Amino acid sequence: MKPTLQKIVVIGPESTGKSTICAALAQHFNTVWVEEYAREYLERQNNEYDYDDLLAIAKGQIRKEEEKSLLAREFLFCDTDLNVLMVWCHHRFHKVHAFILEEIAARKYDAYILCDVDMPWSPDPQREYPDYEMRRYFFNIYKDIVINAGVPFTLVSGNEKERLEQALNSGLFGAR
């Protein structure tokens, strides 16, 4: 019998090492991780998006998560969840698709890893807010989300190696 799959979301503002820590954790635990669907979607859109695109991105993210969950072993690391799309909808368009809110309520995760904004900004055509104040603003929103999620979470900071060590030593993965 396959053990219960634990879904762990890595969340935080832009350029905080989410993809890097997901890949490292997946490698450490010999499993797969769910990449952020928005990246590939926005590449096809020349990095332009509107309100309806965020709904398409949400559906694509769910599809990727479901596909990867079939391949995962013990843990599935998710580079984002629909909370991020909710935040972007609200920030950019001052409204949120009902589908996104319904899926946030329905989808359950076992833990969150919250990435701090103490990493240097890494320019990328898909990133929008390089200034520290906006990164801190989004961090505080994500911090409120994980605090209120009702599941364990840990905050990681420092360089990539330190973040990975903090995540592995957080207690989120049981005695390993």
Residue type, 124: D
Residues 6 or more apart from 130 whose CB is under 8 A from it? 15, 121, 123
Q: Please report whether residue 173 resides in a domain.
A: no
Q: Please report whether residue 174 resides in a domain.
A: no
Q: Please report whether residue 91 resides in a domain.
A: yes
Q: Please report whether residue 176 resides in a domain.
A: no
For residue 157, give the DSSP letter.
-
CATH label of the domain that carries residue 35: 3.40.50.300
**What pLDDT sits at residue 132?**
83
**What pLDDT sits at residue 127?**
57
| Of the candidates 118, 23, 34, 109, the residue with the CA atom closest to the CA atom of residue 72 | 34
**What pLDDT sits at residue 1?**
42
> Running along the chain, 176 residues long, what does each successive block of 10 average in pLDDT?
82 92 97 94 85 96 97 96 95 96 96 93 60 90 96 96 96 74
Q: Please report whether residue 163 resides in a domain.
A: yes
Domain limits for position 34? 6-168
- State how far the Cα of 70 lies from the Cα of 68, in Å rounded to an integer: 5
Q: Please report whether residue 107 resides in a domain.
A: yes
How many domains does one find in the chain? 1
**pTM, entire model:** 0.92
Assess contact for 98 and 104: CB atoms under 8 A: no
Q: Please report whether residue 80 resides in a domain.
A: yes
Q: Please report whether residue 81 resides in a domain.
A: yes
**What pLDDT sits at residue 48?**
81
**What pLDDT sits at residue 120?**
77
Residue type, 51: Y
**What pLDDT sits at residue 176?**
44
For CA atoms 6, 84, 131, 19, the dihedral sign is positive
